[in-house]
Chains A and B, each alone.
Chain A
Amino acid sequence: MRRLINQRPNGVSAPLLGALPFILLLLVYIVASQARLAENPNDKLLPGLDSLVSAIQQVATEPDKRSGALILWRDTAASLVRLGTGVAISALAALLFGIATGALPYARATLSPFIAALALIPPLAILPVLFIVFGLGETSKIVLIVFGIAPFIMRDVAMRVGELPGEQIIKAQTLGANSWQLILRVITPQILPRLLDAVRLALGAAWLFLIAAEAIAAEDGLGYRIFLVRRYLAMDLILPYVAWITLLAFLTDWLLRVANAKLFPWYQGGARRS
């Protein structure tokens, strides 16, 4: 009998084992839901699978009576645009400031303490300020996401620049590179895949800030919908929305991972070696 630490699941059992907790959770839910519905058919807390499905069908395929829109898709589009804009702005800012502070000692001395201080401000605490300054429209939501994740990604990028082997930077100088060429040809291309990794890590926080902002003031969006129907205890809509958000988060992460592998084929190999 080999030690437990040396026993590995094979190609068939590994995915099955991975699916097990999901199946268990679903079973527990079904049993609990049936037990509650048997006691009170109008119970709203744990709706049956059939009512979950019909709630999804309604928001996904039937136009809303008031606005005439397909609510699920409109909410999804609105949220993804906010999330995408916020994350894209953050990534761009992180690339600029992260590389500047990572590569140029004068930029580091000037900006690092400021960025570190910004990163310490709890973003939700200044949400009211954002609403007052930028109004209740899209800008304040996007700014909240940027405020929430950009300092984190900036510091991560600056650290990754610092982790590039000093030998490479010296070597580039002996090949005649000036500071600009060094940033353009040596630092930036090696930072891009690491930036994508940092963005993947920051996406969880980005969703948090998006949903918080939508919950407080919005006219559409996934977070807005959840907090709207909460008033009616509409678990039959909230639960599928949560699952949908989870799936979207998983898909964006997967897309970024695939993009990283496709765009920077040298990255994984290099990371293993160093």
Chain B
Amino acid sequence: MISVRKLWKEYDGQVVLENLNLEVGDHEFVTVVGASGCGKTTFLRMLLGEEQPTRGEFLIDGQPLPDEPGPDRGIVFQRYSVFPHLTVLQNVLLGLEFERAPLLGRLFGARRAEAVEKAEAMLQAVGLYEARHKFPSALSGGMQQRLSIAQSIVKQPKILLLDEPFGALDPGISADMHRLILRLWDEHKMTIFMITHDLKDTRLLVFDKTRLDMQAPEAYGATITYDIPLHVTTPALLRELNEAKTRTERFADVVAVGG
């Protein structure tokens, strides 16, 4: 359960996010969209623990977010998130080795065999088993992203963050990847936040600036302007849509200054 209350994020007087309010339950799939520079990535970095909110609360299960990245929140970046010096199998093993070998970061003998079994099962699930002894540089972009996903999920994180994970892939592969993510989401019961440009059947958060001062563009930040349950396909959809609209309508009368 993630709750965000009256959250603001500023850098040196530049407001990036303002007055963010959000509740996300366990095992939700949340898609975040918005123009570039609207603070989606800042939001993600706060979830990771790389950035701290300037004001307001960011809680996971009622506890403030840790102030550094940790194994309960996995991440898949658009690129560079696999380790080029490790083979596919070693990349997936790494998370298990960190957990079970604090001093050497390496497992040996029976304990390694056990971890290898788990890692290989994970590679089967993402279709990379045949490529397990290759280095990432020998993989295509889509395979590298699948590896990065496998690497994160083997740690069983409560939350998985995807930062434009398919942004650099062509559309056909991107659709395959989307199906893979949905399947893994279903199997592993985690909460997913995905920053993307594709809209699929998920809960959708739109980030945008509701106020704009042409003389001082940095004075106002973005906030969540729409919170749309695209996955709801019953009459409840209309009701939810209307509610979301009412929630954001308070901004309708805010006229852009100078705009």
A residues at B contact (CB < 8 Å): 165, 167-168, 170-178, 180-181, 184-186, 189-190, 264-267, 269-270, 272-274
Could you say which residues of chain A place their CB within 8 Å of the CB of B201? Answer: none
Chain A residues touching B, majority SS: helix
**Using Cβ atoms and an 8 Å threshold, which residues of chain A touch B83?**
168, 171-172, 186, 190
- Rounded to whole Å, the gap between the CB of A273 and the closest CB of chain B is 5
B105 touches A177 (CB 8 A): yes
Beta-carbon contacts under 8 Å, B37-90 to A:
48, 50, 68-71, 73-75, 77, 79-85
**Cα–Cα distance between A121 and B95 once the two chains are bound (Å):** 44
Contacting pair A174 B102 (CB below 8 A): no
Measured CB to CB, the closest approach of chain A to B12, in angstroms, equals 20
B81 touches A176 (CB 8 A): no
B105 near A270 with CB under 8 A, answer no
**Interchain CB contact (< 8 A) of B95 among A175, A178, A180, A190:** A175
Neighbouring A residues of B205 by C-beta, 8 Å: none
- By beta carbon, the residue of chain B nearest A265 is B135
Closest 4 CB pairs of A and B: A269-B137, A270-B84, A175-B95, A165-B80
- Quick check: B151 and A168 within 8 Å, CB to CB? no
- Rounded to whole angstroms, the CA-CA distance of A168 and B157 in the bound complex is 17
Question: Given the complex of chains A and B, what is the CA–CA distance between A2 and B104 in angstroms?
Answer: 59
Q: Can you report 29 A-B residue pairs in the complex whose CB atoms are below 8 A from each other?
A: A165-B80, A167-B77, A168-B83, A170-B48, A170-B69, A170-B75, A170-B77, A171-B75, A172-B83, A172-B94, A172-B98, A173-B68, A173-B70, A174-B69, A175-B74, A175-B98, A176-B99, A184-B104, A186-B83, A190-B83, A190-B84, A190-B85, A266-B84, A266-B85, A267-B85, A269-B84, A269-B138, A270-B85, A274-B80
B112 at the A interface (CB under 8 A): no
Within 8 Å of chain A (Cβ to Cβ): is B145?
A: no
Given contacts A170-B77, A269-B137, A270-B136, 5 further A-B contacts (CB under 8 A): A168-B80, A171-B82, A174-B155, A175-B71, A177-B105
CA distance in complex: A167, B45 (Å):
11
**Which listed residue (B79, B98, B136) contacts A176, Cβ 8 A?**
B98
Cα–Cα, bound, A265→B71 (Å): 30
A273 to B77, alpha carbons, bound, how many Å? Answer: 16
Bound CA span A270–B91, Å: 15
B97 at interface by CB-CB < 8 Å: yes
Which of A165, A177, A189, A274 is the one whose CB lies under 8 Å from B85? A189
Known: A170-B48, A181-B105. A266 touches B137 (CB 8 A): yes
B77 contacts which chain A residues (CB < 8 A)?
167, 170-171
Residues of B90-116 whose CB lies within 8 A of A = 94-95, 97-99, 102-106
Of the candidates B70, B103, B137, which one forms a contact with A174 in the assembled complex, judged by CB atoms under 8 Å apart? B70
Which residue of A is nearest B155, CB measured?
A175
Say whether A167 contacts B79, CB under 8 Å.
yes
In the bound complex, how far is the Cα of B95 from the Cα of A81, in angstroms? 42
Cβ-defined contact, B138 with A185, below 8 A: no
A176–B70 contact, CB under 8 A? yes
Whether the pair A167, B81 counts as a contact (CB closer than 8 A) is yes
Chain B residues with CB under 8 A of A184: 104-105
Say yes or no: is B152 at the interface (Cβ < 8 Å to chain A): yes
Tell me whether B157 and A174 are in contact (CB under 8 A). yes
List B contacts of A267 (CB < 8 A).
85
Closest to B161 in A: A174
A269 to B136, CA, bound (A): 9
Task: List chain A residues, Cβ under 8 A from B97.
Answer: 185
Contacts of B82 in A (CB 8 A): 171
Name the residue on B nearest A272 (C-beta).
Answer: B137
Taken together as a complex, chains A and B put the C-alpha atoms of A175 and B68 apart, in Å, by: 12
Whether A176 touches B71, Cβ cut-off 8 Å, given contacts A273-B137, A274-B80, is yes
Bound: A273/B23 CA distance, A: 40
Report which residue of A168, A171, A184, A186 has the largest number of chain B beta carbons within 10 angstroms of its beta carbon. Answer: A171
